[in-house]
Amino acid sequence: MKTRLLVAALVATLMGAGSGSALAAEKVKAGILKMAALTNLWVAKEAGIFAKNGLDVELVEFRNGNEAINAHRAGSVDFVLSIPGTAMTATERGFDLVLLTQNEAAKAQGPDAGSIMVLADSPYNSLADLAGKRIAVSALHSQMSVATQVALTKGGADMKDMQIMEMPLPSMGDALKSKQVDAVALLDPWVTQLQTTGVARNLSWLYVDSIPEQPIGAWYATSGFLAKKKDVAMAFVKSVQEAIDYMKADEARARKNVALFTGLDPKLTEAMPLNNWDYRISPARWQATIDMMVKSGELQQAHKVDEYISDVSRQFVVQ
């Protein structure tokens, strides 16, 4: 009942507009993770945005981004969200991923979605202090891991002797508390949980300190799907973007919906930095992200941003 109340205003607006789609209801599947950044997709389903645009969307939940991309490659889902740098490396290795729309970008300044954290009582007060220490990342070859290492280098840390360890995000807090690692590269809600309980503190907003406003979430389909059902893909894009506009229109309502979707304590979501949902594509920020992935060796050769901007996504490019 609470969910329906939160989206009731949008439903009334949509129904009052009488702007039904010419498409028959098309059944499609979208891969999601139970994270705040994907609340907009849940809202699109709950509020009837997908239905208004002629879609019957099943949300298929995965444990991590790599699992979602593999399921997409196998045809288990039609649309998948990925951090762009990881999608770029997958594409270079033969995966069929075509950009539909950006979903989220890092902020220009912190607080932001990603943090390099240390224990509250640790002796480390700058990134340079982490030289030669042990730091946990969720995936060794991801855009987040690369951004973490760039932020550390910019902050004066010597990476030569640093131990980078792969660890699931939910396990990082316990590993930090037990001093198995000296620092963690973490995302919300874990960042806010560790901060509000006084366990850990932030040393760096890793996305901001590597490339401010870099893309950190985007939707993809296969070229085969687009060749057969471009109108369906466009309806999905339209729905995602309408849901983003809805989330950004009312911060308090957005936070309540994040709590409902993720199951987090509303008091925690009130303290969390709200995600920077943004479907506008900045070529400069995308190119900087590409160059970062190339310099790190995760992309094997240089690429230009136009290689990743599809016909579908080109209309959302801004300078």
Q: What is the 3-state secondary structure (H, E, C) of the chain?
A: CHHHHHHHHHHHHHHHHCCCCCCCCEEEEEEECCCHHHHHHHHHHHCCHHHHCCEEEEEEECCCHHHHHHHHHCCCCCEEEECHHHHHHHHHCCCCCEEEEEEEECCCCCCCCEEEEEECCCCCCCHHHHCCCEEEECCCCCHHHHHHHHHHHHCCCCHHHCEEEECCHHHHHHHHHCCCCCEEEEECCHHHHHHHCCCEEEEECHHHHHCCCCEEEEEEECHHHHHHHHHHHHHHHHHHHHHHHHHHHCHHHHHHHHHHHHCCCHHHHHHCCCCCECCCECHHHHHHHHHHHHHHCCCCCCCCHHHCCCCCCHHHECC
The whole-chain average pLDDT of the chain stands at 91
The reported pTM is 0.89
Amino acid at 263: G
Residues of the chain with CATH 3.40.190.10: 2-106+213-316, 114-210
For residue 21, the model assigns a pLDDT of 42
Report residue 25's pLDDT band, with 50, 70 and 90 as the boundaries: confident
CATH of 2-106+213-316, one of 1.10.3300.10, 3.40.190.10, 2.70.150.10, 3.30.70.890: 3.40.190.10
Residue 269 predicted with pLDDT over 70: yes
Q: Identify which of 30, 24, 98, 61 has the alpha carbon closest to the alpha carbon of residue 243.
A: 30
Domain boundaries 114-210, CATH class? alpha beta
Separation between Cα atoms, residue 309 and residue 91, nearest integer Å:
13
Q: What pLDDT score does 31 carry?
A: 94
Confidence of residue 267 (pLDDT cuts 50, 70, 90): very high
- In this predicted structure, what is the pLDDT of residue 309? 95
* Residue 216 pLDDT exceeds 50: yes
Query: Residues 128-142: pLDDT tens digits?
Result: 999 999 999 998 889
